[in-house]
């Protein structure tokens, strides 16, 4: 019988957390505080602070340490990890929604995207620039009413897979294919880059707020068990009630 991989999923309301930014900033490292100060727009600054502070607090809660004691190391493409602990995590944010996934069992990548209308061209035209031939065909065969959600379903599934491997967008998006239909099961269908991943990787759609799509890629084909929580204010996260974050 296969094991079930536990994944803790935290959804953040960044707009609601904006007022808590000064308090949350006490979780950040000095370099993160300097980075936050360089943002031109206050909205971007508070979103960065909220994401990094909650990420640090979640990891600290797992490791029973202070948030400021969390030490990140960074991969070649900038993906953070922990030097001395087997704890896998990933963060994504878009518009007012952020998603953090944490697991002690398997590496993972997560993505969330705000579903917005196309600007100049239809989504299928943009897909022709980036997606694989199989994905372009699948998207083109869907009715116009499903195009936007299907595009972002495909995009989040692809981005989650890239983030699993810490690649960002450095790997051409047409080098692998995922399922496109937004109401069908998420799936890694083909990958020229790492063919063995077909039998070693699973992709799942994640629950998210209205107007968003989200997906997670896991370096295992064992089933996952997701525990979902939502943070809309600092006080709603029990860790911050322990007095470990400055008032």
The tens digit of pLDDT for each residue in 166-193 reads: 887 778 899 999 999 999 999 999 999 8
The domain total for the chain is 2
My answer on whether 97 and 118 are in the same domain is no
* Listed range (27-36, 149-158, 180-189, 237-246) with the worst mean pLDDT: 237-246
pLDDT tens digits for range 29-73: 999 999 999 999 999 999 999 999 999 999 999 999 989 999 999
Give the per-residue pLDDT at 246.
45
Q: If you average pLDDT over residues 109-137, what whole number do you get?
A: 91
Check which CATH number belongs to the domain holding 50 and give it.
Answer: 3.90.470.20
Q: Inform me whether the pLDDT recorded for 244 exceeds 50.
A: no
Q: Which residue has the higher pLDDT, 108 or 234?
A: 108
My answer on whether 83 and 168 are in the same domain is no
Q: Inform me whether the pLDDT recorded for 236 exceeds 80.
A: no
- Write down the residue that tokens 């896998």 correspond to: 88
Give the per-residue pLDDT at 122.
85
As a whole number, the mean pLDDT across the chain is: 91
Give the per-residue pLDDT at 239.
61
My answer on whether 87 and 150 are in the same domain is no
My answer on whether 186 and 91 are in the same domain is no
My answer on whether 120 and 216 are in the same domain is yes
Q: Inform me whether the pLDDT recorded for 243 exceeds 50.
A: no
Q: Which residue has the higher pLDDT, 242 or 103?
A: 103
Strand 188-191 and strand 97-103: the pairing is unpaired
Q: If you average pLDDT over residues 93-104, what whole number do you get?
A: 96
Give the per-residue pLDDT at 168.
73
Three-state SS across 111-162? EEEECCCCCCCCHHHHHHHHCCHHHHHHHHCCCHHHHHHHHHHHHHHHHHHH
Q: Inform me whether the pLDDT recorded for 247 exceeds 60.
A: no
My answer on whether 4 and 19 are in the same domain is yes
My answer on whether 30 and 122 are in the same domain is no
My answer on whether 115 and 61 are in the same domain is no
| Residues spanned by the domain of 5 | 1-106+224-247
My answer on whether 167 and 88 are in the same domain is no
My answer on whether 114 and 215 are in the same domain is yes
My answer on whether 114 and 217 are in the same domain is yes
My answer on whether 148 and 69 are in the same domain is no
- Is the pTM higher than 0.75? The answer reads yes
């Amino acid at each position: 019988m296969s094991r079930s991989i536990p994944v803790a999923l935290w959804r953040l309301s960044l707009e609601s957390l904006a007022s808590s930014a000064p308090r949350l900033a006490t979780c950040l490292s000095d370099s993160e505080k300097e980075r936050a100060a360089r943002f031109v727009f206050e909205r971007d600054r508070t979103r960065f602070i909220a994401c990094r502070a909650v990420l640090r607090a979640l990891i600290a809660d797992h490791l029973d340490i202070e948030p400021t004691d969390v030490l990140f190391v960074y991969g070649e493409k900038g993906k953070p990890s922990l030097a001395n602990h087997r704890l896998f995590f990933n963060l994504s944010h878009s518009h007012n929604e952020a998603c953090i996934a944490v697991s002690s069992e398997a590496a993972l990548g997560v993505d969330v995207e705000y579903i917005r209308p196309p600007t100049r061209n239809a989504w299928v035209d943009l897909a022709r620039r980036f997606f694989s031939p199989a994905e372009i065909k699948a998207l083109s065969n869907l009715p116009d009413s499903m195009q936007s959600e299907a595009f972002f379903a495909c995009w989040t599934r692809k981005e989650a897979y890239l983030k699993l491997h810490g690649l960002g967008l450095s790997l051409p998006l047409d080098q692998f294919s995922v399922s496109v239909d937004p109401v069908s099961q998420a799936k890694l269908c083909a990958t020229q880059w790492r063919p063995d991943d077909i039998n070693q990787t699973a992709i799942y759609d994640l629950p998210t707020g209205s107007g968003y799509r989200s997906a997670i890629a896991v370096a295992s084909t064992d089933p996952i068990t997701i525990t979902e929580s939502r943070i809309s204010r600092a006080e709603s996260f029990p860790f911050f009630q322990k007095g470990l974050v400055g008032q």
